[in-house]
Amino acid sequence: MSHQVSTGPAKREVSSGPATPYSAPVVELLLALKVAGLDQLLALDDFAHVDSDAISSVLEEFGRLANGVLASSDRVGDVIGAQYDPATGTITTPDEFHRAFSHFVDGGWSALAHPREFGGGELPTVVSLALQEMFASANMALSLNPVLTQGAIEALLQWGNDQQKDIYLARLLTSEWSGTMNLTEPDAGSDLNEIRAMAHQADDGTWRVSGTKIFITWGEHDLAQNIIHLVLARTPDSPPGTKGLSLFVVPKFLVNPDGTLGERNTFRAIGMEHKLGIHGSSTCVMQFDDATGELVGPRHGGMRAMFTMMNAARLSIGVQGPAVGERAFQHAFEYASGRLQGRTGNVKPPERSPLVDHPDVQRMLLLMSTMTRASRLLLFLAGGQKDHAMHLEPGPARERAQQMVDLLTPVAKAWSTDRGVDSSSLGIQVLGGAGFIEEYGMAQRLRDVRIAPIYEGTNGIQAIDLVFRKLPRDGGKWVRLLMDEVEESLAKSGGVDLSTATSVVSEAIMHLRDSTEWMLKTVESAPDDALAGATNYLELFGSAIGGWLMIERARLASAEGHSDAERIALESDFFAVDVVARSSGLVRSITAGAHRLAAHAPQG
């Protein structure tokens, strides 16, 4: 795409196909799944119904959907977006969203990883992460809809009673109905202690929920026949703080015993936010007025149920990092390949070189692609461990897998979404002036992905979760085990020369080990010091483990005779030198303590 001079008025072309290129990276996704242990997973009894070829076909076929209607509806979602009517409290989405979403629903894509008992395909969840990545690359705003639905499904699967499962699950699984999480309130953001929404039990055993919830993603819309809200609220007898929270299922339309839709429930969207990005998704203020709902799980068990939803969602949100990074990279690469600018190497006037021949542009492209790939590997590693934790026989291996999910999830969510922001900002830089012009579509990448480090627990909160909850488990046993295994793996020499990457990553793991021991010692003795270093510690963690995974990927590609094996090996070197080594510069700040933060107030 060369520069198009805009000669007309402020019209925006919004319905003429995909504004920016996207081609689902199926080969790369399959490689990443294998690095994450897909073959071992498929060898488990629970996955006897599926093999590697079937997974490959699923990726191919969903890739075609993503490349097509999902990607082509992305632009109109940004420019027109969700439209709120304050008179009725209803929100409409562009026609293109209806068309795209019906392809998704009708194709049966929504239920792929869910239990067959409720109509699912029971594929590994890590495969659904790969699908979610393609969906979010193609259309991040629309892809959020099934992500939220998935959270509701997980909550109902784990905590719902049989009747609730019967009523809700089948149509949530297909995405005919969609689900939401109603947690945040105007005065309770990351801190759920302050939640004030209240539920009273009616004579018939159902509940009446009242209160205001904010930042409710896809809280109201016209894509589904019904919207099933999962709402955190207090009960009259509840203790203060998060221990007093219970979870309620509150459908937009009450559901009759025969499954048909009944009365409209007594709540509505009383506002919709104007956001920096993801304009196609509605972000609602919901007002519940004695809305009819049912308790899900035990009374005062709301926090545990909420963590079920959030844990399911954290990896899905994390995937938005490589998703947007991948599309930004493909777009930047295409632009840089076509745009002539100056000369490099032996090119003489009047010849000109494409941008992509300039070393600094190549460096930016490689930063984008390798950060994207390392993010994907981290997320898939956590997702693959989750499958192992669900499908291995109970025992030490299963326990280990669950501990690895818990340890890796905050790292994967935070590190990957931060890299998604980095990549989309680099994408703008590669396009230069065109990157700043909305019609070129790269600006939307940055505007969209900027939310990912914030929602589903800010990245600062992920770092606290890592350092204060995950590291200290069993005295630090699991984080040490991970580092031991990584070091053992690094010590093996593969069939391809990865000496640069191996030496840089080994050094980073040493730094990570030192920082980890400092954290383990400090969380108890000087928690503010640990809090002061938590975010930078998480970044070092993600870079070091990401660097190791990039080496694993290169080894696997080499072992499998991958046609791009040499280039993949170079990528692991680049990532080590340009990303991992840089993160090693964080070591000093990680252990520098909280006293240095005393100067945070303004002067002048």
Give the pair of three-digit tokens for residue 558.
């080499």
- Cα–Cα distance for residue pair 253/249, rounded to 1 Å: 12
Contacts for 264 with CB less than 8 Å, ≥ 6 apart: 252, 253, 254
CB 49, min distance to a copy of itself, A: 27
DSSP string for 441-482: SHHHHHHHHTTTTTSSS-HHHHHHIIIIIITTGGGGHHHHHH
For a copy of itself, the closer CB: 8 or 394? 8
Check if 263 is active-site: no
Q: Which of 96, 294, 456, 539 is catalytic?
A: 456
For a copy of itself, the closer CB: 406 or 571? 571
For a copy of itself, the closer CB: 171 or 229? 229
CB 192, min distance to a copy of itself, A: 10
Which amino acid is residue 275, in one-letter code?
K
For a copy of itself, the closer CB: 337 or 493? 337
Give the pair of three-digit tokens for residue 539.
């970044």
For a copy of itself, the closer CB: 366 or 390? 366
- Cα–Cα distance for residue pair 94/96, rounded to 1 Å: 5
Regarding beta strands 226-234 and 245-251, do their DSSP bridges make them parallel or antiparallel, or are they unpaired? Answer: antiparallel
- Cα–Cα distance for residue pair 33/127, rounded to 1 Å: 7
Which amino acid is residue 71, in one-letter code?
A
For a copy of itself, the closer CB: 251 or 318? 318
For a copy of itself, the closer CB: 385 or 506? 506
For a copy of itself, the closer CB: 65 or 156? 65
Contact 331, 442 (CB under 8 A): yes
CB 454, min distance to a copy of itself, A: 6
For a copy of itself, the closer CB: 312 or 442? 442
Measuring CA to CA, how many Å separate 152 from each of 14, 100, 179, 235, 250?
32, 22, 5, 21, 11
- Cα–Cα distance for residue pair 467/343, rounded to 1 Å: 49
For a copy of itself, the closer CB: 370 or 403? 370
Among 441, 392, 451, 401, residue whose Cα is nearest residue 421? 451
Which amino acid is residue 592, in one-letter code?
A
CB 28, min distance to a copy of itself, A: 3
Place of tokens 């975010």: 535
Q: Which residues pair with residue 209 across a beta bridge? A: 199, 291
CB 146, min distance to a copy of itself, A: 21
For a copy of itself, the closer CB: 219 or 435? 435
- Cα–Cα distance for residue pair 560/43, rounded to 1 Å: 19
CB 2, min distance to a copy of itself, A: 8
Distance spanning both ends of the chain, measured CA to CA: 47
CB 148, min distance to a copy of itself, A: 15
Among 429, 439, 412, residue whose Cα is nearest residue 368? 429
Contact 488, 446 (CB under 8 A): no
Query: Exposed e or buried b for every residue in 505-535, given b needs 16+ CB within 10 A?
Result: bbbbbebbbebbebbbebbeeeeebbbbbbb
Measuring CA to CA, how many Å separate 223 from each of 104, 438, 448, 450?
12, 27, 20, 25
CB 167, min distance to a copy of itself, A: 31
Give the pair of three-digit tokens for residue 570.
């170079």
- Cα–Cα distance for residue pair 394/481, rounded to 1 Å: 19
CB 477, min distance to a copy of itself, A: 26
Beta strand spans in 308-373 (E):
none
Measuring CA to CA, how many Å separate 414 from each of 122, 183, 541?
28, 20, 11
* Dihedral of alpha carbons 70, 72, 77, 80, sign: negative
- Cα–Cα distance for residue pair 284/311, rounded to 1 Å: 22
- Cα–Cα distance for residue pair 309/150, rounded to 1 Å: 8
Give the pair of three-digit tokens for residue 203.
């004579």
Contact 25, 368 (CB under 8 A): no
CB 602, min distance to a copy of itself, A: 6
- Cα–Cα distance for residue pair 84/199, rounded to 1 Å: 27
CB 158, min distance to a copy of itself, A: 26
Would you please indicate which residues are annotated as catalytic (active-site) residues? 456
